[in-house]
Amino acid sequence: MYYNGVYKTLLVLLILVHFTHEYTGGGDIELKVGVLFFRDEYDIELSFDEAFHQINTNKLFGLTFKTIKRYVPSDDSFILQQLTCELLSDGVAAIFGPSSKATSDIVAIIANATGIPHMEFDWSIASPAQNILNNRMTVNVAPSVAMISKAYYNIIKNHYGWDEFTIVYETKAGLTRLQDLMNINNLNFDLIKLRYIEDYKNDLRVLWKETSETLHEHKIILDCDANSLQTLFETAKEFKLFTLFKYWFLTDLNTHNSALRRMYNPDYRANITSVRLKLVEDNPFSRKKTRIRPIDKIFSNQVMLPILMYDAVVLYANAARNVITTLRQFTEPQMRCEFDYPSRPWYIGREIVEEMKTISEDDVDPPFKTENFKIDENGQRKQFNLEIYKPTTNDIMVVWKPDGSLSPPTSLQAALGGATSTAPDFSLARKTFIVATRFEEPYFMLKEDHETLRGMEKYEGYAVDLMQKLADLMEFNYEFLVERTTGKMNPDTGEWDGMIRRLIDHQAHIAISDITITQARRRVVDFTVPFMQLGISILYYRRKPAAKNPYAFLEPFAEEVWYNLMLTQLIMTLLFVVLARFSHHEWTNPNPTESDPDELENIWNNSNSFWLMIGSIMQQGCDILPKGPPMRILSSMWWFFTLMMVNAYVANLAASLTNNKLTSEFDSLSSLIDQSKVKYGTLSGGSTSVYFSESNETDYKRAWNQMISFTPSAFTSSNKEGVDRVRKEEGKYAFLMETTSMSYNIERSCDLKQVGSQFGEKHYALAVPLGAEYRSNLSVSLLKLSERGELFNLKRRWWKPRDEINCTRPTDNDGDELSIIELGGVFLVLGGGVLVSFIIGICEFLWNVQTVAAEEKTTRWQAFKAELCFVLKFWITKKPAKISESTKSSISSKSSSKRSTDRSRSHSRSHSYVSGRSRRTTKSKTSHHERVRERNRERERSVHSRSVHSRRYYD
């Protein structure tokens, strides 16, 4: 029983061994694989040997591989065909290579015809759809050109946000990897420039000079071999293409192995980035090798072709094992290149190729070197990850994935990428901005003592303070680049000048001044958020007010009119006197109490006639009037004359005072357009002129058409020239300018003013080159300054004059009121009349004192004192006839005089006083008549009663 069981067990084992031997072909199957190398591909050969060495030393793999190598001396399709046929005659089950140095696809065609898998590990241009059937046996583990092109497009467009750049390429094959980049900007193909290095092989400096000075490029995509990088960079450095705000993107996947890290120094401050295939992270817990072999250095340096060769070997070996170990019987390929040799393609080869298209990175042993490994149905690799890194410091920035997403590197990836290295990154140094500006008050000016200062210290102004505050917030340095103008576009060439040109050429990073945001400028530069709001208004000359004329009341009539008026008055006075003596109606009884007077009196003497003339002119009339018809007719004609003259005087006086008011020829833009005396203009090529030239509003169009028609030109080269022209032409020129500059000049000049209200809302902002990434930071900083009120404080500081300026600025329309100066002449006439009347009155008073002293037989001094004392006693309204004698008697009898009297005596004294005055008046006229003298003697008899009256009056 025991032996029977043992026998049965041995029999089963023998059967299993038999079937296993029959199934596997008898132990490990040995496959021959061929490879084609060029003479200088030592690193790729080491990787090829290393991959098969690891597979063959794996006892559990199930297959062993024998490699057959052929070396290609040159890129010759005939030689490639011969070497490929030699490999086929040796019975190889796969052919690796050659690299992309071979321009012919003869190997792929032969492999496709014989059914032998063909493994590629380098770039290859994707075959057209009709040629895919001729390459069905070819599998390429390198990323397809189409996928690499899409990856670059995604990185440049979505990650970097570039839409304008220059592509510099070394080979036409390399240009195919960038074909999608040329479709980034479909609207304007001029924004993407192409430069072929081969066209500049005689002198590379021409290439970089054209890029820097002609194209003014600051974003460059360079596709070249890593070995060519040093020569290209050393030449480009001469043209300042590695300064701050210059950006380079290097497309070669081996850039990290170039000489760039060795030549990197502080002169390379540009932002330089590149891409490479992302490798599988090593196991951190694996045992470190004590001896570093050459192949280990190759793998650690991430050299692309050796790594891809390794992955190609791993892919094929695992696919061959999966297919062959499932076969009942393995048949080695026996292929030949002779076309007359009847053979069928190796069917196992096709199964191996199909298996490679299904294998993932989790199904292979040993593992792939590169991440995200997958072959599509056409034998092309469309799944891979890319690291975006800085080749100057080997710092990994982000990882790109085929879905277009970007993810930060893991800590292990960063460590492997060199982020922990101590190499300085000069692109991260504190940036120095070149700030373009121009001399314009109060934005940018030289200090009074600038000749003793150096550098930035000699400048001052609103722009200087604003840039300093921005620099403090954003932590950057800056230098000023002074230009003559803001910048305008030449309509013939379309080219800009001034500060805008500097920004377009990237010779400046920021422009600050009174730069208005316009649509034309937005096409060539970008703007931050506004830091100041403004409008447009009219700057005009403020005429100095005419000197006030104190004799303005004389202006309504000319001098000859006044002279004739006075002469006429004198003549009329004489005519009145003469005609009155002719008219018997004007001779009247001087004493109405006598019915039969002895004499008649004519009141129209020179004095009364002159009084009537004056009263008529003054429209006041007179207390005496003519009685006879001739005199009344003459008076009526005189009144008519005075009525016309007075009315004409009043009308002309009102008109004269109205014309003397300070009135402007216009008060708004529309009235400025309608008048023809004052010319007007604006800054040539500035935003204000653009506003008028491009506006569709009727008044603005009319204003523009008038401005361009003025001769000489109404446009100026600067605001200062416009302000000076307004002053110089003194009311014959008006300047249309922005209200901020206008208010600054008006605050500092008494002979300037703003006419009309503000129109055309505008904004000032900082200008930066198109696509400048620091624009958003500048905008945020400006918003912070605005919220803190610092922008308002800056404007108040620089717009208000440091020294107080006192200007007498009368309003243009100040009503109809008259000043004291204009009416001063009237007051002078009044004062003169008062003075003359008082002089005459005093003279008359002194003459009366002389007469009283003579008549009353007293001294002049006593008469003067008596009269003066009476004058100063304002409460006494009645005056005695002889005040000198009554004064003496009142003094001598002052102690014993009585203070009372009866009403009848008082009445008698009053009557005697009146009679005495009548006597003195009539005496001078009728002294030659005896009868009058008799009457006077009778009146003198009442002296005693008047004396008594005087004593009581002065008591």
Ramachandran region, residue 410 (left: φ > 0; alpha: ψ -120 to 50; beta: rest): beta
- Provide the CA 377 distance to its chain's centre, in angstroms: 58
Position of tokens 């992302």? 278
Query: CA-based Rg of the chain, rounded to a whole angstrom?
Result: 60
CB 223 within 8 A of CB 168: yes
Within 10 angstroms of residue 135's Cβ, the number of other Cβ atoms is 22
Q: Which helix (H) or strand (E) holds 913?
A: helix 903-923
CB 132 within 8 A of CB 105: no
Distance CA 354, CA 367 (A): 20
Distance CA 171, CA 197 (A): 8
The response to whether 947 counts as a known ligand-binding position is no
Q: What are 4's two structure tokens?
A: 């029977």
DSSP assigned state of 548: P
What are φ and ψ of residue 312, in 5° steps? -65, -40
Query: Which residues are CB-contacts of 680 (< 8 A; sequence separation ≥ 6)?
Result: 538, 672, 703, 706, 707, 714, 733, 734, 735, 736
First-to-last C-alpha distance (Å) of the chain: 192
Q: At what angle do helices 860-872 and 883-892 cross, to 10 degrees?
A: 90
The response to whether 392 counts as a known ligand-binding position is no
The response to whether 687 counts as a known ligand-binding position is yes
Q: What are 943's two structure tokens?
A: 């002296």
Distance CA 661, CA 811 (A): 10
Classified as helix, coil or strand, 226 is helix
CB 497 within 8 A of CB 488: yes
Distance CA 917, CA 309 (A): 153
Query: Which residues are CB-contacts of 63 (< 8 A; sequence separation ≥ 6)?
Result: 28, 29, 30, 31, 55, 317, 320, 321, 324, 325
Q: Which of 573, 915, 538 is nearest to 760 (CA)?
A: 538
Q: Which of 546, 506, 603, 594 is nearest to 219 (CA)?
A: 506
Distance CA 29, CA 31 (A): 6
| Exposure b/e, 396-417, CB count within 10 A at least 16 = b | bbbbbbbeeeeeebeeebeebb
Length of the chain counted residue by residue: 955
Q: Is 577 exposed, middle or buried (0-12, 13-18, 19+ CB in 10 A)?
A: middle
Q: What are 558's two structure tokens?
A: 């000319």
DSSP-assigned states of every residue in 737-752? EEHHHHHHHHHT-TTE
CB 274 within 8 A of CB 261: no
Distance CA 204, CA 432 (A): 29
CA dihedral 177, 183, 189, 190 (to 10 degrees): -50
The response to whether 516 counts as a known ligand-binding position is yes
The response to whether 912 counts as a known ligand-binding position is no
* For residue 117, cis peptide bond before it (omega within 30 degrees of 0): no
Inter-residue long-range contacts of 287-293, CB under 8 Å, 24+ positions, other chains counted:
none
Please name the residue ranges forming H helices in 258-379.
260-263, 294-300, 304-324, 347-356
CA angle 762, 767, 770 (to 5 degrees): 120
Within 10 angstroms of residue 905's Cβ, the number of other Cβ atoms is 13
Q: What are 10's two structure tokens?
A: 């041995």
| Sequence ranges of the binding site for L-glutamate | 516, 521, 687-688, 738
| Sequence ranges of the binding site | 516, 521, 687-688, 738
